[in-house]
Chains A and B, each alone.
Chain A
């Protein structure tokens, strides 16, 4: 028995690893019944050798699949080992991993066997068993299977903390090219149902404290980056639409890992677009935490993000007329827009300046990245770095003084100026 279960874990973890989300935050599920666990912390219990957080047991129920999506390892036509867990096996693994403090909970996805509802029903029954039979209060993230019925999505919402549908490709055109059997409408439908249901339950909860919680950590989605020709603008505008239209908690961007010789896709010898992925996440953060509109960062004049500098810096270089900011006077919203100053540092600056006027020394100690910020701010000091340099000049200064792993190839060129 143990050899078989080992093999299943290997196959079905392997197949699940391309789903990037491993977040276990955003829920407030308490251990109210002296049962097992709670889901209120969002802890990364370990990190894989590729540096990704391991918070959940992220696994497929099965990698048998009726679809043949070109970008997916478990596509029907791919010649790989197949396996399937029973509902009880997934339950046992989750409980035993959880009790040993390996994980925060379960992230269960699946290949599609038979049809959408049949698959969704299995996923829901794992969650139901964990909650009702094992008094499990840990985190559960279920994949919504495109095309699953509203009834099943409702039941899923009762037991899961978070649900997600992968929209796979940023645009419909990309999806048609690589997954001709899939229909974008089937992906949108459960997302829409959940959005409405979550709003409804939140209202109900406000009136009646005892009403059950429903998908308290909301829903998310993921798209694959670099498998098709979309621009960064198309990708981030799509993300923006999902954030606004479906109240999504997160959009994940997954750099395409070459897994196939299919001519429609980048070849096996191409690298994973990790820098690009990083820049997309930075943009996502600027939209969600720094008060940027997506149109400020990406538009028809700038359809792609710079790879060698971060999106906030490139925005600032395009808008030099707004700088320098006086760090001792400017609003928090404006300080957040200074390259090299993060959310925490910005808040610290605003708190600290009530007591003293801040100088360069204070700013260094607070922890801001002065190598970038100094060209955009003035403070309580006679030394001024902002001297009406051109954008190119500033970029050159910053890159030459930086040890960023992204610019190794550029350093020699820069030295020529």
Chain B
């Protein structure tokens, strides 16, 4: 008998789910995010919300068994939001707790290899976003950028941008997930636009500084002229800059 568990979708609530599974000695489970859950599931699903002390105990257990890298990788997998990832993560966690030795690099286990691969995919997307964010300077001196990453990587890129752009205000907004981060020269906070109104104004050129367009044109020109036409390699170009990112890249406007 498979127990269906519906959780609220946050990292803490996922860890709480893991705690409850051990606490209640549940066997086969199917973990679903509350917005993804189907109505016609058999049996009564178990609803689980975030319980920080319980989540903390799971984290401590994992920390004792995994390296920092390994734990980070698990978190990255969670951010992939791939359907069913919670179940893969659970089988990985079970494997971790069942074994005396660390299984982190036991790539012969399918769940270890799978999570290592998904973690790498998310890491690559994080790296891409650190590269592909394109700020535009607004009249009120905020550098603004829209992104639409494949995975929810904002939690992974926050520190990078905070360290790098310490002396300017900036916003990075994930249009797909409808939230962003705002750095006000002191700290970074999550922000949410009133989408219809606020986002329309971001698309309006008048909100940008006068020389914003000049720098965009300079960048586009630079991009064009640094290319060596006789070495054209479209396949390689597309591999590194896939088309789905173009709409937010100034040089590809």
Contact = CB atoms under 8 A, between A and B. Distances in A.
Interface in A248-273: 255, 257-258, 271-272
Contact of A272 (B145, B215, B226, B230): B230
A38 B218 CA distance: 23
A176 interface: no
Interface stretch (A39-47, A111-119, A193-201, A334-342): A39-47
A97 B131 contact: no
A395 interface: no
Contact of B168 (A36, A97, A348, A362): A36
A50 interface: yes
Contact of A101 (B133, B214, B230): B133
B130 A17 contact: no
B222 A57 contact: yes
Contacts of A356: 106, 108
Contacts of B163: 30-31, 38
B240 interface: yes
B167 A49 contact: no
Contact-size category for A: 35 or more
Given A43-B130, A358-B108, A35 B237 contact: no
A330 to B, nearest CB: 17
Contacts of A351: 105-107
A34 B167 contact: yes
Interface in A279-318: none
B110, B218, B240, most chain A CB atoms within 10 A: B218
Interface stretch (B44-52, B73-81, B134-142): B134-142
Contacts of B237: 47-51
Nearest to B108: A356
A5 interface: yes
B223 A10 contact: no
B221 A48 contact: no
A31 B166 CA distance: 8
Contacts of B228: 17-18, 48, 50, 52, 257, 272
A351 B101 CA distance: 13
Contacts of A31: 163-164, 166
A225 interface: no
B108 A17 contact: no
Contact of A36 (B166, B217, B241): B166
A37 interface: yes
Contact of A366 (B109, B113, B127, B134): B113
Contacts of A16: 226
A137 B130 CA distance: 17
Contacts of B106: 351-352, 354-356
B167 A135 contact: yes
Nearest to A365: B113
A5 B251 contact: no
Nearest to A1: B214
A260 B166 CA distance: 47
B191 to A, nearest CB: 18
A9, A135, A255, most chain B CB atoms within 10 A: A9
A261 to B, nearest CB: 16
Given A38-B163, A41-B160, A44-B240, A50 B251 contact: no
B232 interface: yes
A90 B127 CA distance: 28
A366 B101 CA distance: 21
A16 B228 CA distance: 10
A181 B219 CA distance: 36
A354 B99 CA distance: 14
Interface string B148-182: 00000000000010011111100000000000000
A2 interface: yes
B248 to A, nearest CB: 11
Contacts of B227: 17, 48-50, 52
A237 interface: no
Interface of A: 2, 5-6, 9-10, 13-14, 16-18, 30-31, 34-38, 41, 43-54, 57-59, 93, 96-97, 99-102, 135, 255, 257-258, 271-272, 274, 348, 351-352, 354-356, 358, 362, 365-366
Given A13-B222, A100-B143, A365-B107, 7 more contacts: A48-B226, A49-B229, A50-B227, A100-B219, A351-B107, A352-B108, A365-B113
Which 9 pairs from chain A and chain B are nearest by CB?
A51-B236, A351-B105, A356-B108, A355-B106, A51-B233, A352-B107, A50-B231, A47-B240, A13-B225
22 contacts: A6-B217, A13-B222, A31-B164, A35-B167, A36-B165, A43-B130, A46-B131, A48-B223, A48-B237, A49-B233, A50-B237, A51-B237, A96-B215, A97-B218, A102-B134, A102-B219, A348-B107, A352-B106, A352-B107, A352-B108, A355-B106, A356-B106
Interface of B: 101, 103, 105-110, 113, 127, 130-137, 143, 145, 160, 163-168, 214-215, 217-219, 221-223, 225-237, 239-241, 249-251
